[in-house]
Amino acid sequence: MNPKRTPPPFATALLAGWASLQGLPALAEPVSVSETVSAQDVSPGILAALREAQGRTEEQLLGRLTFEAQAIRLEQELSKALGERFGGAWLSEEGTHLLVGVTTEAGAALVRRAGAEPRRVARSQAFLERVKAELDAQTRNAPPSVHSWYVDLPGNRVAVEAEDAHSPQSRAHAFIARSSGAADGTIQVVPSKGAPRPVYDVRGGDPCFIGGARCTVGFSVNGGFITSGHCGSAGATVTGYNGVVMGTVQASVFPGKDYAWVATNSSWTPQPWVNTYGGGNVIVTGAQAAVVGASVCRAGPTTGWRCGTVLARNATVNYAQGSVTGLVRTNVCSEPGDSGGPWLSGSQAQGMTSGGSGNCTSGGQTYFQPVQPVLSAYGLTLKTGSALTVSDLDGWIQISP
């Protein structure tokens, strides 16, 4: 049994606000142990990687992880309650506050009552997503110098990353000129740190080989596993890390999206595990999408276990092979061979490595393909395992097999 921990004040406030939003009595006392995350609940590998990535003490990290799990619930409720007034939600840089964009003062008051901090914005998230969809509709016109575009919630804009961002004559400005968001400043061209590329070279996180290229197992599903689409085409034979044939790629999409699924043979048993490269296994318990600003970790055979934060969701990346939409942008590095690898927020499956720029020596950013679209596209069921339950806040909870 875990010792009783009093959650940090910001976590208590958020839970009290969430209860208020539901029309329930706000909590008069600090939340109980069932609503907190302790060191016994978190994989040592996750805790160590987060400590290195964020430079925080264990107590600070546990407070943040508790808060992040609560923030997922509140974001969903506020989005429904605010409707077109909702400007998106993201965590503060310190991870101690949930910031919520709102377009009206009445919306701001609702956010305050819910225990979050409102930020008045000119544009709703729904509006920003519609503007981004206009860019997605003309991906064939995107020049090679345009590397990606996404909704930047904190900036209340659609950001377009390009090589020649500061040149008025750049082809990036010609690309966005066709969109309704160009004239009023909704779309802004920002400098790119480099052209993203699929990181070619498969328990989740282990290497696999498809058509001679090394990729990574993403997540186990009933009957096989999922990985990135650019790793191989339908019909390709997949070999495991030990040289034993695993199965065959059943379906693959790239570009447009970046996912594939592999049906394994009787020599392999899909397990709900992710290899943390030195920290044991994480047991996958679900697939609840993390909020912008939340902590995420990924696994890959080239660079191991790396952690960082979510920077944007529903990003579009303009790879040389064609554009891919619906990706999640992060500040985590990756390198060739990490493609297809699993991303987790605690024990919640997030997606599979698609591509990125930079490397793990000088730093970089990586995009991942969310997990839900591939599960829905092929009617797959994610393999999940038993976990300790911390109320509804089980995003960071796991037990060893």
Q: Could you say which DSSP state residue 382 is in?
A: B
Q: What is the pLDDT of residue 7?
A: 53
Q: What is the pLDDT of residue 15?
A: 52
Q: What is the pLDDT of residue 380?
A: 98
339 is catalytic: yes
66 vs 348: which has the higher pLDDT? 348
Q: What is the pLDDT of residue 35?
A: 57
Convert 174-193 into a string of H (helix), E (strand) and C (coil): HHHCCCCCCCCCCEEEEECC
Q: Which of 179, 228, 339, 345 is catalytic?
A: 339
Q: Which of 216, 235, 198 is nearest to 319 (CA)?
A: 198
Q: Write out the DSSP string of 4-42.
A: P-PPPHHHHHHHHHHHHHTTSPPPSS---GGGS--GGGS
362 is catalytic: no
Local confidence band at 198 (pLDDT 50, 70, 90 cut-offs): confident
Local confidence band at 181 (pLDDT 50, 70, 90 cut-offs): confident
Residue 209's Cβ-side half-sphere holds a number of Cα atoms within 13 Å equal to 9
Local confidence band at 284 (pLDDT 50, 70, 90 cut-offs): very high
pLDDT surpasses 80 at 113: yes
267 vs 350: which has the higher pLDDT? 350
Q: What is the pLDDT of residue 12?
A: 53
Q: What is the pLDDT of residue 27?
A: 27
Alpha helix ranges (H) inside 83-205:
105-113, 125-136, 171-176
315 vs 244: which has the higher pLDDT? 315
Q: Which of 41, 152, 206, 258 is catalytic?
A: 258
pLDDT average, residue stretch 95-117:
95
Token digits for 30? 């600090």
pLDDT surpasses 60 at 396: no
pLDDT average, residue stretch 9-34:
44
Of 29-43, 123-137, 210-224, 241-255, the least confident: 29-43
Token digits for 86? 């909702």
pLDDT surpasses 50 at 24: no
The percentage of residues in the chain with a pLDDT greater than 90, rounded to a whole number, is: 64
pLDDT, tens digit, 9 for 90 and up, residues 320-333: 999 999 999 999 99
Residue range 125-191, CATH number: 3.30.300.50
pLDDT surpasses 70 at 75: yes
Domain boundaries, the chain: 9-120, 125-191, 193-385
Token digits for 213? 């290229």
The percentage of residues in the chain with a pLDDT greater than 70, rounded to a whole number, is: 86
pLDDT surpasses 80 at 389: no
pLDDT, tens digit, 9 for 90 and up, residues 144-162: 999 999 999 999 999 999 9
The CB density around residue 201, as the number of other CB atoms within 10 Å, is 17
Q: What is the mean pLDDT of the chain?
A: 86
Q: What is the pLDDT of residue 14?
A: 57
Local confidence band at 202 (pLDDT 50, 70, 90 cut-offs): very low
Is domain 193-385 classified as CATH 2.40.10.10?
yes
Q: What is the pLDDT of residue 111?
A: 96
Local confidence band at 291 (pLDDT 50, 70, 90 cut-offs): very high
378 vs 400: which has the higher pLDDT? 378
pLDDT, tens digit, 9 for 90 and up, residues 222-254: 999 999 999 999 999 999 988 899 999 999 999
Q: Which of 97, 147, 173, 230 is catalytic?
A: 230
What torsion do the CA atoms of 391, 395, 397, 401 make, to the nearest 10 degrees?
Answer: 120
Residue 16's Cβ-side half-sphere holds a number of Cα atoms within 13 Å equal to 16
230 is catalytic: yes
Q: What is the pLDDT of residue 45?
A: 75
139 vs 21: which has the higher pLDDT? 139
Sign of CA dihedral 74, 77, 82, 85: positive
Amino acid (1-letter code) at residue 41: D
pLDDT surpasses 90 at 135: yes
